Structure 1
Amino acid sequence: MKSSTNLLLILVVFLAAENARAQPGPILINCGSDSSSAVVDGRRWIGDSSPSKNFTLSFPGTIALAAAAPGVDGEEEPYGDLYKTARVFNSSSSYNLGVAAGSYFLRLHFSQLFANLSAEEPIFDVAANGLKLLSRFSVTGEISWRDSQINSTSKVIVKEYLLNFTSGKLGIEFRPDEGSFAFVNAMEVVPVSGSSIFDSVNKVGGYGLKGPFSLADGGIETMYRLCVGCSDIARKEDPGLWRKWDSDEHFIFSLNAAHTITNSSNISYASADDSTLAPLRLYETAKVTTESSVVEKKFNVSWSFIIDPGFDYLVRLHFCELEYDKAEQRKFKIYINNKTAAESYDVFARAGGKNKAFHEDFLDVASPQMDTLWVQLGSESSAGAAATDALLNGMEIFKVSREGNLAHPTVRIGGISGGTRKPKRSPKWVLIGAATGLIVFIAIVGAVYICFCLQRKKRSSANKTKNPPGCQPLALHGSANTRSPSLRTAGTLGSSQLGRRFTIAEIRTATQNFDESLVIGVGGFGKVYKGKMESGTLVAIKRGHTESQQGQGVKEFETEIEMLSRLRHRHLVPLIGYCDERNEMILVYEHMANGTLRSHLYGSDLPALTWNQRLEICIGAARGLHYLHTGLDRGIIHRDVKTTNILLNGNLVAKMADFGISKDGPALDHTHVSTAVKGSFGYLDPEYYRRQQLTPSSDVYSFGVVLLEVLCARPVINPTLPRDQINLAEWALNCQRQQLLETIIDPRLDGNYTLESMKTFSKIAEKCLADEGVNRPSMGEVLWHLESALQLHQGHLHADCDEVLSGPELTPSDASITVTHIREAEESTRAARDANDEVVDVKIEVP
């Protein structure tokens, strides 16, 4: 009998072990890493370059790449180490994994740091087992679009999909656009228990008509996952599936329409099958409709979401009754896109008791033109209900694949797809499906609003300001500018300093109605056109694209005008004027005939710059930055110093440009400015990135990278090169320390430079790239050394070309004395320059 018991026990243990072995575990991939096991957020991730990985990667056109800066901070900090590396694809490549049949969450992690590997934005497609997940995807554009919806500082995008696999194989293909590249920082393949997490779905518009939903023919993408009434729920708080739940406060139409209730005691799942569908913390808080103080009836509480048109959407609502202990005490209606999804909805009755958590799924067939999805809860008007307030604990919105596609059919760059998305939310749309009682409330609110507007108009008339519709008024400072009814500027500035306010008709005439053949540049803000004014003057016209009218684009437009209205210097691109009518944001600059410095270094067929020209250009840019750092009381930090923001006029005079993300320097009693990290990958100061503390030395670091770019004439990041040469700064400094400087110099210089000058140049570049800002020189010191390098070079040229010179050969010390004379001469003319609002070049002949 005892032996039979032991045998039975062994059999039970064996079956349990077999069952555990059959249950698939998650596959967590640290892309670009060779680590065999890295613990991040308590889970073990394996590098895709590790020999112990249990998947294969097709390697044509791929490279593992590590970031020079640390990982991300903020809400994604636990995942920071994952964002230090990436797998970069120059051609179509795939990850091939073995998976058991079933449903899985597939998550793709992207960091914006790696989106700036080159001057051009990476655009690429992603597919899983033939199902297109992303089409012409732009990480920067996705982040801009997200930030226009919520106030987010994270520079990371995590795309999540729920897929069903029957073949036992998963192939994830990355396909870059022609001439572009693709990348990914990390991937998760997390099994979901059960054959499907959608067993029964209510058809919106026909409540009571339920039907099964299957992932067999496609998949779904998680668009939104919200905790209603509570703060964000981190991934580690949702063990098993590791989902992130955001707060609903950015999506609720009116915060006053609902209030929060809480109850953290004795919450349990109504069904054991629900235990993996949401963490219990989600159900400890809820929002219920607020009783109006104006009318006795309650009004709808609404949430609004931007969606991709042309797809069906699954809406999962999470409920848990936290107040009432009987049925019939709370009944309400559910509307999705102004269609009735449920009537007389009783949370207590459906859950089978108080503090019982459950969910309900609804399927809405979206219109091809619909780009907004509304979820609303309204009062139940049926008699006998003791309470008619609605309740909601959580919400998830999923996009359903259609014909093998989950990707939006148009490219999403700059934040909004195809120009069809309009994040602006209109109360009129809410009114369409509102209950009759809501009309009374809106009428009262409208009356109050009209009174408010009348009072505001009176105040506006008293201040003699006027804000026309269209582009938002730019409130740069307090006092009004009489030239422009839409722009305000500092009281210390005259209106003339803002330049001319152009009409849109003048701009269209100057650009031949924005003729594409006149485009001379494209940036994050928009396109730059070459234009001709009525006087025949050539100008550069920067036109913000449609998406720039939201969020960051408006800020950059305001900052650019504010900065350039305060600054005047020969080595800063002058602002001629602007246009801000008819939803346009346009800046007009002096035309720089020779374009960007980068275009003269590589990537074009322009003649190579001589060493003398390169030195003079670097000196000009340094003078512009030195003026920025010292010309005003607090100084200005450019924050985006790079060769594409150094422009050259017809005489190759360098001028700093693009002040859209510039910042005022620290106050006298501060050492830095605390701010979110912005800039361009490869030029970004690692200390600023690590501490989020901005100082003028951050510009110095970026300028040091520019100096190396001028010296070597190659991109700052080139993923096609061997690993030790990908990052220009690391490679050049390593060569400098090994006395191999001459091996990395631009071969087009063909030896036409002075070695002493080159050494002085490279040494100051090395000092600029010191790890800690306190060890870097100021821009004044950088300028001094560059002028020394120029004098050394010109002195040797004079010695070589004129053998009858009677004076001794110029030495480094002589050059330093000459530079000192130049600096003294420049200082002596500063007052005159400031008075005349222009700068005169000071030239001293070399003896």
Structure 2
Amino acid sequence: MNQTRKSPVIRPGPGQVWNQSSSSTSNSNSGSIYVLQRSQSEQKKKRSIFSLIVRVLTCRGDIAHVAEDHAQTASIQYSSRTSLRSSKKLYQSASSTPSRASDGPQGTDELSFEDISKATGNFSASNIIGQGGFGIVYKATLKNGSVVAIKRAKKDNYERGQPVEFKNEIQTLSKIEHLNLVRFYGYIEHGDERIILVEYVANGTLREHLDGKCGNGLEIGERLDIMIDVAHAITYLHTYTDQPIIHRDIKSSNILITDKLRAKVADFGFARISVEDPTATHISTQVKGTAGYLDPEYLSTYQLTDRSDVYSFGVLLVELVTGRLPIELNKAPSEKLTTKWALQRLKGGEVVLAMDPKLRRNPASLMVVEKVLRLARQCVAPTRQLRPSMKRCAEILWRIRKDFHEHNDVMAAANHSVQVAPQMGAIKNRREFFGIEDSGNQRFQSA
């Protein structure tokens, strides 16, 4: 017989309380969803600076244009743990418009386990949208028509008495909020069931887009936007939360893509909150992550720092410009390790050979690939002291995107001139060399 376990202890941050709302059923075993609520005084205070905070958090829209008008490298500002919720209800992710947040699922604080079961078609295989070490992720349509993602933990984790990832993820998710991070709605404990409710992002993962399983292919400009979105998200985790958070599993299958082809970082099962000791230089911990993305220094020393995420981000940059997985077992021996192979192409001045075949070959895209690979080379440096911070990575990528747009503007102007000049030259040639004059009755037509 299943016994209801006590919910994990969550320490709320300043101005936050954890409330257990009334379940939609009186059965004590039905399970209730736990949601994060904030005081009204804090809501009023933060609502007054809402539009400014959203622009700062997204680093898109107007703020991007302002930054790109400056000759110097942009300096990115963030807000620490800023709430975008304007009421005690939990809201869905912000809309595709960067400066405005839209309402999300209503009444999620009244859901029971039975409601979740119905919303997923009794956890039907047809509603599975992903799976990983934590468990299976389902698409769920709530009673009011709202759509959320349900992460259902593997039961055998709890039979072994190791609910670590579940507690770790809800502890981490409860402390963060950023438009480039998947939004957290709450969690349910019901007997041996552990469920996390998060934002549903409908357009697949970055890896699916690179593989051609989703979308129509990502052009270099769209890939640049995704790089910057991910850089913003990780910078926020490292620098602008109350305690720095190290994700530990940055990879393309953990990057969700919105309908507007922007990125949201997901899956915090391996995330680690840094120790409060300001003198600490690293965290000694068991190695967790994904092969190909793992920082070799962390792997050999068991010392985790925020630069371990920087290493993974460098691998992700290579993945974005090459389209290849970090480890390609079906390639020739010299090409199995994609990062090493791509950086060798960079060193040899053969950047075009490292480009994803799906990308258009033109001077602007070649320029972007070369500069991104140069940044990736810094990120995957052998020791953490040689790697840039994530904030610095974001600033460099901003500059690359600015150069890319300027290059495209120049090319567009040049193409316009090319389209006009030959026409005038042809008229002159017909008159001077062939004696042919265009008139009202006769007009020369080229074959």
TM norm. shorter chain > 0.5: yes
Instruction: Report what 2:180 is aligned to.
Output: 571
Taking a change above 3 Å as real, the CA distance of residues 640 and 551 of structure 1, as seen in their structure-2 partners, is farther
Q: CA deviation at 1:722?
A: 1.4
CA contact (8 A) 1:471 1:549 kept: no
Query: Alignment partner for residue 740 of structure 1, among 326, 345, 350?
Result: 350
Following the alignment from structure 1 to structure 2, what is the Cα–Cα distance between the partners of residues 670 and 789?
34
**For residues 629-668 of structure 1, what are the structure 2 equivalents within 5 Å?**
629-666=238-275, 667-668=277-278
Tell me which amino acid in the other structure corresponds to 2:213. S
Q: CA deviation at 1:603?
A: 6.1
Instruction: Report what 2:8 is aligned to.
Output: 474
CA contact (8 A) 1:501 1:579 kept: no
Percentage of identical aligned residues: 35
CA contact (8 A) 1:760 1:785 kept: no
Tell me which amino acid in the other structure corresponds to 1:483. Q
Where in structure 1 are there 5+ consecutive unaligned residues?
Answer: 1-421, 423-467, 806-847
**For residues 39-58 of structure 1, what are the structure 2 equivalents within 5 Å?**
none
Tell me which amino acid in the other structure corresponds to 1:516. A
CA deviation vs aligned residue, 1:330-370 (integer Å, no higher than 9, x gap): xxxxxxxxxxxxxxxxxxxxxxxxxxxxxxxxxxxxxxxxx
Greater share of residues in strand: 1
Instruction: Report what 2:385 is aligned to.
Output: 774
Is 1:797 the counterpart of 2:408? The answer is yes
Instruction: Report what 2:301 is aligned to.
Output: 691
Report SS of the residue matched to 1:754.
Answer: helix
Taking a change above 3 Å as real, the CA distance of residues 493 and 553 of structure 1, as seen in their structure-2 partners, is farther
Q: CA deviation at 1:475?
A: 2.1
Following the alignment from structure 2 to structure 1, what is the Cα–Cα distance between the partners of residues 161 and 315?
26
**For residues 499-648 of structure 1, what are the structure 2 equivalents within 5 Å?**
500=109, 502-550=111-159, 554-602=163-211, 604=213, 606-648=215-257
Report SS of the residue matched to 1:795.
Answer: helix
Following the alignment from structure 1 to structure 2, what is the Cα–Cα distance between the partners of residues 675 and 492?
33
CA deviation vs aligned residue, 1:562-592 (integer Å, no higher than 9, x gap): 1111111000000122221132111111111
CA deviation vs aligned residue, 1:138-160 (integer Å, no higher than 9, x gap): xxxxxxxxxxxxxxxxxxxxxxx
Following the alignment from structure 1 to structure 2, what is the Cα–Cα distance between the partners of residues 679 and 560?
15
Where in structure 2 are there 5+ consecutive unaligned residues?
Answer: 22-30, 41-87, 92-107, 417-447
Instruction: Report what 1:785 is aligned to.
Output: 396
Taking a change above 3 Å as real, the CA distance of residues 551 and 659 of structure 1, as seen in their structure-2 partners, is farther
Instruction: Report what 1:764 is aligned to.
Output: 375
Taking a change above 3 Å as real, the CA distance of residues 488 and 691 of structure 1, as seen in their structure-2 partners, is farther
CA deviation vs aligned residue, 1:617-674 (integer Å, no higher than 9, x gap): 1100110000000112431100111011111122122111111111112431111111
Instruction: Report what 1:483 is aligned to.
Output: 20
Choose 666-675 or 614-623, whichever is displaced more: 666-675
Is 1:706 the counterpart of 2:316? The answer is yes
CA deviation vs aligned residue, 1:237-279 (integer Å, no higher than 9, x gap): xxxxxxxxxxxxxxxxxxxxxxxxxxxxxxxxxxxxxxxxxxx
Taking a change above 3 Å as real, the CA distance of residues 700 and 602 of structure 1, as seen in their structure-2 partners, is same
Following the alignment from structure 1 to structure 2, what is the Cα–Cα distance between the partners of residues 563 and 788?
31
Report SS of the residue matched to 1:482.
Answer: strand
CA contact (8 A) 2:36 2:186 kept: no
Following the alignment from structure 1 to structure 2, what is the Cα–Cα distance between the partners of residues 622 and 493?
31
TM-score (norm 1): 0.38
Tell me which amino acid in the other structure corresponds to 2:10. L
Report SS of the residue matched to 1:539.
Answer: strand
Report SS of the residue matched to 1:749.
Answer: coil
CA contact (8 A) 1:600 1:606 kept: yes
Report SS of the residue matched to 1:520.
Answer: strand
Following the alignment from structure 1 to structure 2, what is the Cα–Cα distance between the partners of residues 757 and 618?
12
Following the alignment from structure 1 to structure 2, what is the Cα–Cα distance between the partners of residues 552 and 644?
28
The structure having more radius of gyration, on CA atoms, is 1
Taking a change above 3 Å as real, the CA distance of residues 478 and 715 of structure 1, as seen in their structure-2 partners, is closer
Is 1:721 the counterpart of 2:258? The answer is no
Report SS of the residue matched to 1:599.
Answer: helix
**For residues 245-264 of structure 1, what are the structure 2 equivalents within 5 Å?**
none
Q: CA deviation at 1:481?
A: 3.4
Greater share of residues in helix: 2
CA contact (8 A) 1:500 1:578 kept: no
CA deviation vs aligned residue, 1:46-88 (integer Å, no higher than 9, x gap): xxxxxxxxxxxxxxxxxxxxxxxxxxxxxxxxxxxxxxxxxxx
Q: CA deviation at 1:518?
A: 1.2
Report SS of the residue matched to 1:790.
Answer: helix
- Greater RCO structure (CA 8 Å; 6+ sep): 2
**For residues 331-410 of structure 1, what are the structure 2 equivalents within 5 Å?**
none
Tell me which amino acid in the other structure corresponds to 2:357. P
TM-score (norm 2): 0.70
Instruction: Report what 1:396 is aligned to.
Output: none
Taking a change above 3 Å as real, the CA distance of residues 521 and 679 of structure 1, as seen in their structure-2 partners, is same
Following the alignment from structure 1 to structure 2, what is the Cα–Cα distance between the partners of residues 711 and 552?
42
Taking a change above 3 Å as real, the CA distance of residues 658 and 762 of structure 1, as seen in their structure-2 partners, is same
Taking a change above 3 Å as real, the CA distance of residues 481 and 576 of structure 1, as seen in their structure-2 partners, is closer
Instruction: Report what 2:82 is aligned to.
Output: none
Tell me which amino acid in the other structure corresponds to 1:673. I
Taking a change above 3 Å as real, the CA distance of residues 677 and 497 of structure 1, as seen in their structure-2 partners, is farther
Query: Alignment partner for residue 731 of structure 1, among 341, 362, 387?
Result: 341
Q: CA deviation at 1:804?
A: 10
CA deviation vs aligned residue, 1:20-53 (integer Å, no higher than 9, x gap): xxxxxxxxxxxxxxxxxxxxxxxxxxxxxxxxxx
Following the alignment from structure 1 to structure 2, what is the Cα–Cα distance between the partners of residues 492 and 607?
41
Q: CA deviation at 1:504?
A: 1.1
Taking a change above 3 Å as real, the CA distance of residues 471 and 721 of structure 1, as seen in their structure-2 partners, is farther
CA contact (8 A) 2:203 2:214 kept: no
Q: CA deviation at 1:550?
A: 4.0
Query: Alignment partner for residue 751 of structure 1, among 361, 377, 385?
Result: 361
Q: CA deviation at 1:697?
A: 0.2
Tell me which amino acid in the other structure corresponds to 2:195. I
Following the alignment from structure 2 to structure 1, what is the Cα–Cα distance between the partners of residues 90 and 175?
8
